[in-house]
Chain A
Amino acid sequence: MRTLLALAAFGVLALGAAACGSDDNSDGGGGGGGSSNLSGSIKIDGSSTVGPFAQAAAEAFQGQNPNVKVTVGTSGTGGGFEKFCAGETDISDASRPIKPDEEAPVCKKEGITYQEIQVANDGIAVTTNKDLKVDCLTVDQLKKIWNKGSKVKSLKEVDSKFPGTPLKLYGPGTDSGTFDFFTEQINGEEGVSRTDYQPSEDDNITVQGIEGSPGGLGYFGVSYFEANKSKLNLVGVDGGSGCVKPDQKTVQDGSYKPLSRPLFMYPNEKALKRPEVKAFLQYVIDNYQTIAKDSQIVPMTSAQAAEGKKELKTAEAKAG
Chain B
Amino acid sequence: MEASAATTTRRAVPSIGAARRRWGEELIKGLLLAAALISVLTTTGIVISLLRETVVFFQSVGVGEFLFGTKWTPTFEPASFGVLPLVVGTFLITGIAMAVAIPLGLGSAIYLSEYARPRVRKTIKPALEVLAGVPTIVFGYFALTYFTPNILQDILHLKVDVFNALAAGIIMGFMIVPTVASISEDALSAVPQSLREGAFGLGASRFQVSTRVVFPAALSGVVASVVLGISRAVGETMIVLVAAGQIANMSANPEQPHYTFTSFIGAIAKGDIPTGSIEYKTIFAVGMTLFLITLAMNLISIRFVRKYRQVYE
Contacts and interface: CB of A to CB of B under 8 A. Distances in A.
Interface string A175-199: 1110110010000011111011011
Most buried by B among A1, A148, A173, A213: A173
A23 B276 CA distance: 43
What is the interface of chain B mostly: helix, strand, loop, or mixed?
A: loop
B271 A175 contact: yes
A186 to B, nearest CB: 13
A198 B257 contact: yes
Nearest to A179: B75
Contacts of B122: 1
A79 B275 CA distance: 6
Contacts of A208: 145
Interface string B265-281: 00111111111110110
A1 B123 contact: yes
A87 to B, nearest CB: 15
**Interface size bracket, B side:** 20 to 34
A205 B268 CA distance: 18
A212 B163 CA distance: 13
B247 A198 contact: yes
A213 B76 CA distance: 25
B47 interface: no
A195 B272 contact: no
B119 interface: yes
A190 B274 CA distance: 13
A153 interface: no
A212 B162 contact: yes
A205 B144 CA distance: 9
Interface in A84-128: 95-96, 99, 102-103, 106
A65 interface: no
Nearest to A174: B75
Given A1-B123, A201-B241, A212-B162, A173 B271 contact: yes
A173 B242 CA distance: 11
Give 10 closest A-B pairs by Cβ, nearest first.
Answer: A175-B271, A191-B77, A77-B272, A174-B75, A177-B272, A82-B275, A102-B274, A102-B276, A78-B274, A199-B246
Interface of A: 1, 4, 47-48, 75-79, 81-82, 95-96, 99, 102-103, 106, 148, 173-177, 179-180, 183, 189-193, 195-196, 198-202, 205, 208-209, 212-213
